[in-house]
Structure 1
């Protein structure tokens, strides 16, 4: 049985990962609950610390005493808009804490099997190169994207320079159970779900033509676990579905799935918002991974989950 640390493990993706790992691993979670929720992990047997990953003395002690085999670094202020408003505060979480953890592992020769850092498709920016390959040009346009890109480079180069087994992934638009719809910075589909269920008005920033590559969280978790067990290191993978969908199109599909009409109020686009996004996932497929969830199937399962809350 392996010992696994998940930072941000009470959040949306982290809690789904914890559920997938807990039966065959000893799972430790660190989360300050600023975006995550304790109830996301209350039904599984994990060791939970409500703590800030920026507290280096706490993290150093945990890393020394934990003897972890795998570290999944998901802790982040996962909001582009929030990083524009609070660039320094979000930088401390999204970059400084990552580097501090890597450096402590290096200085103390901690014998981990894999350190996996979760980056974002936001690093690609608005360059007109589609679909986005991992070796494509990057154009981080916001503090969030800048920190994510810098942290993934630190992660990758800590393998090249110091031999620490590291890998990074770039999430595209992940959706599914345990997303927090009450956060103004949550994923768009969780907010749409809440508005559909409660007959609230959804605020659409832009004209709805902006596209995203939506991937169901179960596919994301399966990809994370597969990548973490690969012997390959010092590289980055896109995690996505490989399909491009406009926001208006997915809203229309979700209306069909839910049988409800969404009330929409249009506002101007926000600073830093990306107009178009689609991933090339051929690198992920080469390691034997195939997304299993279509958009319709994922939305149906997500809607059923959301109705049960």
Structure 2
């Protein structure tokens, strides 16, 4: 059955893939500030869905867009999520991640399913995998605080307005199409520019890395599968239940690329808020919505190396012309 689906942040890293997942079978509205440009989509794609340049901080603009489109499902991916930037500009992060979420919830039709992209960053540090029903909540940085506040607004407005809602705690996404200078795309960009050494901060933190295609498929499953009652909020993790250290990820990148890379530890790049472990228990998302990961971290690294597909904005920030991304041979 065709649904009317609104995706906020639909021109972003995960959002662009989710739009492609939906636009041939459903009516799709993408709400995006287009910080990374309209060229995140191919020209022929733009006729397959509706694209609205909308800032979620503009309550009136959000309300007008949703009132006109009347969505059956809203997948709220738009966020300020690059942690160093959130730390430098906490007010801006709060406006986007908290105020923007509240504006959406106030404009959300009561019969709509609201899917909120939260984060594993809301959990307190633990050496065990994080379980939605049992693990302690305790974010350690601005981004995590804003996502926890967003979750609280989702639960409040779901009860108040009879919205069926799902909180999806997403873990570390890896693969082609990045829009922010996270660890791996930055290293790949440097390697493809000819650098043979990188300076990194902490090498020991372990993270649960999920392929961007699996992340998009997970949000698609949560948006359309299973049953969520009006006024109910279901919380699930979206990850792989496997963790890898920065050092292990660098080794995998060396293996995939066949390219030598020396790592120099730079204490100045070490994050004071780094947690040792961050991993997901993923039984609930399978039980409620029938999703499980199909790709591995090795697939993600291989795909990122073969075709980084960084946004032009990110390539420029990393000092790399988009045309230079193919200077080195891709892996077989």
* TM-score (ref. length: structure 2): 0.84
In the alignment, does 2:73 pair up with 1:84?
no
Asked if structure 2 preserves the Cα contact closer than 8 Å seen for 1:81 and 1:272, the reply is: no
In structure 2, the residue matched to 1:15 is: 16
In structure 2, the residue matched to 1:289 is: 291
Alignment of 1:79-158 (within 5 A): 79-105=82-108, 110-126=109-125, 128-135=126-133, 136-158=135-157
CA distance in 1, matches of 2:168, 2:148: 11
Report the Cα offset of residue 259 of structure 1: 0.9
Q: Which moved more, 1:15-24 or 1:96-105?
A: 96-105
User: CA offsets per residue over residues 193-218 of structure 1, 9 Å max, x none?
Assistant: 21222233433122x11111000011
Secondary structure of the residue that 1:235 maps to in structure 2?
Answer: strand
Asked if structure 2 preserves the Cα contact closer than 8 Å seen for 1:156 and 1:167, the reply is: no
In structure 2, the residue matched to 1:210 is: 205
Report the Cα offset of residue 112 of structure 1: 3.9
In the alignment, does 2:260 pair up with 1:257?
no
Change (3 A) 1:264 1:294: same
Change (3 A) 1:253 1:147: same
Asked if structure 2 preserves the Cα contact closer than 8 Å seen for 1:76 and 1:93, the reply is: yes
Among 188, 191, 204, the alignment partner of 1:196 is 191
User: CA offsets per residue over residues 9-39 of structure 1, 9 Å max, x none?
Assistant: 11101111111111111211122233x3422
Change (3 A) 1:125 1:79: farther
Asked if structure 2 preserves the Cα contact closer than 8 Å seen for 1:174 and 1:187, the reply is: no
CA distance in 1, matches of 2:252, 2:132: 29
Unmatched 5+ residue regions in structure 1?
Answer: none
Q: Which runs of structure 1 show a deviation greater than 4 angstroms over 4 or more consecutive aligned residues?
A: none
Report the Cα offset of residue 242 of structure 1: 0.9
Secondary structure of the residue that 2:233 maps to in structure 1?
Answer: coil
Q: Give the aligned length.
A: 298
Asked if structure 2 preserves the Cα contact closer than 8 Å seen for 1:156 and 1:235, the reply is: no
Report the Cα offset of residue 103 of structure 1: 1.9
In the alignment, does 2:227 pair up with 1:231?
yes
In structure 2, the residue matched to 1:187 is: 182
